[in-house]
Amino acid sequence: MKSYLLPFLLILTLSSCNFGSKSEQNLPIEVPEAVPSFVDYKVERLIGQKGPCEADSLSTQCLDYSVEYPKLTGKIPERVIQKINQNIKLNIFEYAFISEKPESFESLVSELATAYNDVLKDIPEYKASWSMEVNSDIIYQDTAFISVASTIFSYTGGAHPDAYQVYRSYDLATGDPIKLSDILGLGFERDLNEAAEIEFRMLKEIPPSQALKVKGYFFENGKFELNDNFAIINKSLIFYFNPFEIAPYAVGPTELELKLTDYVNLIKETGVLNAYKN
C-alpha cells in the first residue's frame, strides 16, 4: 500500500486545484515581411474621352483613353529621378504613337483625337470607337536598379487592336535604361543566345533538328537572337517578344525567362548585377 500512496495523494491534490475556465489559445499573428523599397513613387493617371461622346453620352463615336504610369518622387538623387521619369515615358512612346513620338501623354491623346476626328469628317457614317490604354508600373526594386513593365493597348480601326509589352530596367546611379552590354561581359552574345535558344525551343517544344521557321518563327538569317526588350526581375532576365516581332500575329507574344544563376560567368564585374555573382 505504501508504494501507491504518493501517486494517490498527487492526484487528490491536483483535483482540488482550481485551474479556472478554459480560454482560447492566442497564437502570434504572422505578419509578412514588407517588400524592400529603394525608390518612392506615385502613379500618375490620365483618363477621359474625346470625340462626339465627350459632349453626348449616347454617342457611339468615341475615343476612350486611360493612362497610368509611375513617377518617381524620392529616395534617390533628384537628377536621377528626373532622368528615369523621362526615360519611362520615352520608352513607352517608342511603342505608342501614330506618326511622330509625342512629347507627353497629353500630346499623344491630342494626336489620337485629331486623327479620330479627321476620320469622322471624311466618313460621317463611321461608328467605330477608338481606344488607347497604357498601364505601367514598377514591378521590381533593387539597391542598384528598378524594373518597369508597361502594357500599351490601342485600337484605331483595322482588323485587330495593337498590344505591346515593354520591359525596362533603370540604373539608380545614372537613370539610364540598362542594356545587356551594361551587365554582361565582352563577347556575351554568342553564349547567351545559344543558351536562350535552348530555353526557347523547350518553351515552344521545337526539337533541335527542326528549323524555327517551320513552326512559324522568323529571325534574321534564320538564327535565333534575343531582343533588347527585357528587364531584370528577381534574379532573372525576362525577355518579351511582341506580336509580329518574331512570328505572325496569330502566334501571339513570347515571354522568355533566363535565370541569372545559370549565367554567372557572363555577369560583368562592374555592372549592377555584380553582387549576383556571389
The neighbouring-strand residues paired with 41 are: 72
Q: What cell numbers appear for 55 in the block?
A: 459632349
Closest CA relative to residue 46, chosen from 104, 129, 113: 104
Judge contact between 192 and 263, C-beta under 8 A: yes
Decide: 45 and 80 in contact? Cβ < 8 Å.
no
pLDDT per residue rounded down to tens, the chain (278 residues): 444 333 433 333 444 444 444 445 555 565 555 567 899 999 999 999 999 999 998 898 999 999 999 999 999 999 999 999 999 999 999 987 766 788 899 999 999 999 999 999 999 899 899 999 999 999 999 999 999 999 999 999 887 889 999 999 999 999 999 999 999 999 999 999 999 999 999 999 999 999 999 999 999 988 999 999 999 999 999 999 999 999 998 889 999 999 999 999 999 988 899 888 76
> What is the side-by-side strand order in the sheet with 40-50?
40-50, 63-74, 130-141, 145-155, 162-171
Q: How far apart are CA 276 and CA 267, in angstroms?
A: 8
Q: Do 158 and 170 form a contact (C-beta atoms < 8 A)?
A: no
The pairing of strands 63-74 and 40-50 is antiparallel
Q: Which three cell numbers stand for residue 278?
A: 556571389
As a three-state string, the secondary structure of the chain is: CHHHHHHHHHHHHHHCCCCCCCCCCCCCCCCCCCCCCCCEEEEEEEEEEECHHHCCCCCCCCEEEEEEEEEEEECCCHHHHHHHHHHHHHHHHCCCCCCCCCCCHHHHHHHHHHHHHHHHHHCCCCCCCEEEEEEEEEEEECCCEEEEEEEEEEECCCCCCEEEEEEEEEECCCCCECCHHHHECCCHHHHHHHHHHHHHHHHHCCCCCCCHHHHCCCCHHHCCCCCCCEEECCCEEEEEECCCCCCCHHHCCEEEEEEHHHCHHHECCCCCCHHHHC
| 216 in Cβ contact with 207 (< 8 Å) | no
* pLDDT number for residue 160: 83
